[in-house]
Amino acid sequence: MKENSRRGFMGKAFGAVAGLGAIGSLVAMKKSWDPLPSVKAAGFTTLDMSIYEEGVMVTEKWRGKPIFVLKKTPEMMKDEEGNPEAQARNIKVGNDNFMIAIGLCTHLGCIPAFRKDKGDFLCACHGGMFSASGLVTKVPPPRGFDIPPFKIDGNKLLLGEVGPEYQAMKDNGVTL
Ligand code: FES
């Protein structure tokens, strides 16, 4: 191999190695930009819906927000009869019916309290009230509780994932 062509070959080889090195560092940089697997998983909360008791309101957490989970009693279901707005917010998992909502008042964001004896929610900040299905029964809240994205998977509810039931609620204006 002549001196010139050897230099040319070495130059190309070096260029190829340098190119691979650059791709390698880009991959490394991209990896460092991507969220850690635990952070990605933190966007979801899986609830086992078989553990809740009828009429007992439980506050879960999703993305730092309180999530109200209320397994409805037969009386609550009866109250919803003839009220399509309330029925449209019902989330059915297996044979059970739930109110699941972001537990923040849609007025100014206080956390309303569940009143077990009345089966409704009272926001102490300005007196707003919500029914067991999450609809406003007393202003000033401008709308019912917002419903978080959810996907039903057997007995489980995956918060943070959009399933067909949630999509239908969005499409029908049941939640924002
Ligand atoms: S924040 Fe709930 S009524 Fe004002």
Q: Which CATH architecture has domain 41-171?
A: 3-layer Sandwich (2.102)
Average pLDDT over residues 10-24: 51
CA angle (140 as vertex; 113, 167 as ends), nearest 5: 75
Query: Scanning the structure block, which residue is given the tokens 């007025």?
Result: 107
- Any residues with CB less than 8 A from the CB of 15 and at least 6 apart, and which? none
Residue of 104, 105, 129 to mutate, ligand 1, most atoms within 8 A of C-beta: 105
Neighbours of 1 (CB within 10 A): 8
Average pLDDT over residues 108-123: 97
Task: Give the largest Cα separation in the chain, rounded.
Answer: 96
- 145 CA from centroid of ligand 1 (Å): 12
The full set of domain ranges for the chain reads: 3-34, 41-171
DSSP readout, 59-111? EEEETTEEEEEEEPPHHHHHHHTT-HHHHTT-EEETTEEEEEEE-S-TTT---
Check pLDDT > 70 for residue 23.
Answer: no
Residue of 107, 121, 137, 145 to mutate, ligand 1, most atoms within 8 A of C-beta: 107
The ligand 1 atom at the shortest distance from the C-alpha of residue 126 is 3
Higher pLDDT, 14 or 119: 119
pLDDT of residue 41: 56
For 3, the 3-state DSSP assignment is helix
Statement: the pTM of the whole predicted model exceeds 0.85: no
- 115 CA from centroid of ligand 1 (Å): 16
For 38, the 3-state DSSP assignment is helix
H/E stretch holding 25? helix 3-33
Average pLDDT over residues 87-113: 98
- 131 CA from centroid of ligand 1 (Å): 15
Average pLDDT over residues 140-160: 97
Residue of 68, 110, 111, 145 to mutate, ligand 1, most atoms within 8 A of C-beta: 110
